[in-house]
């Protein structure tokens, strides 16, 4: 977590990784539940149905692990679900924030260009005056 | 997802689209459940009651699809629910961030105006000196 | 929603309003459920226990409204719950983002001060040269 | 809340505190449930299994507190769960936003360097002209 906060991955990489990880967790979690708890999970589709409910935090509770091995798998699926929601929300939010910023930056750039133009105009008038000074001196020395 | 991250829609458009999509998903999901699972869903209002619980991730589990056709519809409703929560949170967050930024930008603009004023004052004093120089030269050459 | 996105309230106001609104919804929702569904909700504490589960989207489903009047109240409580989560997450996120920005802005301000100092040093050297020019001209004209 | 919004902790501190707090809440909540409700919670592992479901807002409802003492503990666990989700999402979002900003800031810095270079070039040409003026005056006065 700490190293992640210090050197974060690109937003697109993180979004891609978490979506893939979630798909893998739903499939692998479903298969694991079928293997660990034959009675409650009569086939792997029931396992995957449970895993999807868990990952999205819907949690109907129509199928839940009754054995401890299954509950340990469930713990991992729940924590991955939180990671999935967190990264998805963070990725989309950062895109929305960036878009708003881009618009404000464009307005700022116009303002800065105007500022540069004002300073430029003053430097122009200084330059014109210096040109006249130089012209008069040239006459004097010739 | 990738193309969305690269060329994102406006925040207001995204918020409008997802709220409309969620309302449609609750209604269509409710009707679909009634059609696919007559026993569990005795009328379309039960279907919509279930869809709303699912989309908000509350998931009481008092009504859940028992048939596979219903569970496939439920999968779509759950994923739309995540999209709804994500876009809603992202939209409101970007508004709050923008507001905080606008205040900070106003303070920055004041600081930049002061900086421009300081440079302007120095250019003024250069200009006055040059005016005196030009005046003396004019006397010399006349 | 649209007007909210255009003229947003202050982050602190929004956070205060939503926390108060959520406390009110838990209490009023609990009382409403007791009044509307005597059988399932044997006292107002059961109603408030249900409302808190709903607002936080935990939704155990140990107590759920069976009557339609109760389900309409539940719909409002669920939607308020989403608003509560959204505004809470948005408020805390904008505080975290603002903090990170404040640090970056401080670094930017140091950089801009250096830039102003460099321009200032060049204006100083121009001024010194002009002072020498003015001095020589004064000698010539005296 | 208000004081938190005004003088916020560092993002990394907040993330560390909330992750530790959540781990403590799951363990202590599990033990408390075992002590308060012997019938429903046959051992502390059942208590912790319930606490984890609650903190992540999954809420299957396969184990729920039936006594009021347990429901008061549950209220605290639910509210801590919301704080956990909020701070986790806010921390990761602020990291993603900061990363996007850092890239934009780098582009801005290049633009500002160019602006400084353009002003510098004009100051150079003013300086050259002044040097010629000074040279001519030196000849005149010698």
The minimal CB distance from D61 to the residues B61, B89, B97 is found for B61
B121 Cβ under 8 Å from any chain D Cβ: no
Give the pLDDT band of residue D1 (cuts 50, 70, 90): very low
Q: C123 CB near a chain B CB, below 8 Å?
A: yes
- Residue C30 is encoded by which pair of tokens? 């609990």
Residue D7 has pLDDT above 90, yes or no: no
Residue written as token pair 């729940």:
A78
> In this structure, how many other beta carbons lie within 10 angstroms of the beta carbon of residue C129?
16
Contact between B70 and B36 (Cβ < 8 Å): yes
Please state the rounded mean pLDDT for residues D128-132.
Answer: 92
Its sign, for the CA torsion B43, B49, B52, B57, is negative
Q: Of chain D residues 63-82, which have a CB less than 8 A from chain A?
A: none
D8:C99 CB<8 A: yes
- Residue C61, pLDDT > 70, answer yes
Please say if the pLDDT value at position A39 is more than 70. yes
Question: A11-36 and A44-55 helices cross at what angle (nearest 10)?
Answer: 140
Q: Which of A4-13, B71-80, D12-21 is predicted most confidently?
A: B71-80
pLDDT of A118 above 60 = yes
Q: CA distances (Å), C126 to each of A17, B125, C131, C140, in order?
A: 58, 11, 9, 21
* CB-neighbour burial class of residue D93 (10 A; exposed 0-12, middle 13-18, buried 19+): buried
- At A19 the pLDDT is 93
The pLDDT of D62-89, averaged and rounded, is 95
User: Considering the entire predicted model, what is its pTM?
Assistant: 0.90
Q: pLDDT tens digit string along C128-137?
A: 999 999 999 8
Average pLDDT rounded to a whole number, residues A99-122: 89
Per the model's pLDDT, the better-predicted residue between C54 and B104 turns out to be C54
Quick one: average pLDDT of A135-139? 89
Residue pLDDT, tens place only, C75-132: 999 999 999 999 999 999 999 999 888 888 888 888 889 999 999 999 999 999 999 9
With a CB cutoff of 8 Å and minimum separation 6, the contacts of A39 are: A66
Interface partners of chain B (CB pairs < 8 Å, 3 or more) are A, C, D
Residues D98, D103, D108, D109, CA torsion sign: positive
At D6, the pLDDT band (50, 70, 90 cuts) reads low
Contact B27/B48 with Cβ under 8 angstroms?
A: yes
Q: CA of D56 to nearest chain A CA: how many angstroms apart?
A: 7
pLDDT of residue D102: 86
Section D28-53 average pLDDT: 95
Chain C contact present for D140, CB below 8 A: yes
Which of A57, D48, B65, B112 lies closest to C82, judged by CA?
A57
CB B138, CB C141: distance < 8 Å: no
- What value does the mean pLDDT of chain C take? 90
pLDDT 10s per residue in chain B (142 long)?
Answer: 455 555 556 888 889 999 999 999 999 999 999 999 988 999 999 999 999 999 999 999 999 999 999 999 999 999 999 999 999 999 999 999 998 888 888 888 888 899 999 999 999 999 999 999 999 988 888 7
Contact assessment for residue B36 and residue B67, using Cβ atoms and an 8 Å cutoff? yes
DSSP C43: S
The whole-number pLDDT of residue B54 equals: 97
Share of chain A above pLDDT 90, in %: 69
Q: Which of C56, C59, C96 should be substituted to probe chain A, the one whose Cβ sees the most A Cβ atoms within 10 Å?
A: C59
**Residue tagged 């810095």 (tokens):** D109
Select the residue from A58, A64, A84, A137 to test the B interface by mutation, using most B Cβ atoms within 10 A: A58
Q: Do A90 and D89 touch (CB under 8 A)?
A: yes
**CA gap B122, C40 in Å, rounded:** 80
**For D98-118, what is each residue's pLDDT tens digit?**
988 888 888 888 888 999 999
Determine the residue of chain D that is closest to B62 in CA distance: D61
pLDDT value of position D91: 95
Residue C5: pLDDT over 60: no
């Amino acid at each position: 977590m700490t190293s992640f906060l210090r050197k974060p991955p690109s937003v697109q990489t993180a979004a891609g990784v978490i979506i893939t990880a979630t798909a893998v967790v739903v499939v692998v979690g479903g298969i694991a539940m079928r293997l660990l708890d034959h009675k409650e999970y009569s086939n792997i589709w029931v396992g995957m149905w449970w895993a999807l409910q868990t990952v999205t935090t819907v949690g109907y509770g129509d199928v839940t692990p009754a054995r401890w091995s299954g509950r340990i798998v469930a713990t991992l699926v729940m924590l991955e679900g939180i990671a999935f929601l967190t990264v998805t929300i963070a990725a989309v939010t950062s895109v929305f924030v960036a878009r708003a910023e881009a618009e404000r930056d464009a307005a700022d750039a116009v303002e800065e260009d105007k500022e540069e133009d004002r300073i430029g105009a003053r430097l122009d008038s200084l330059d014109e005056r210096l040109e006249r000074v130089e012209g008069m001196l040239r006459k004097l020395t010739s």
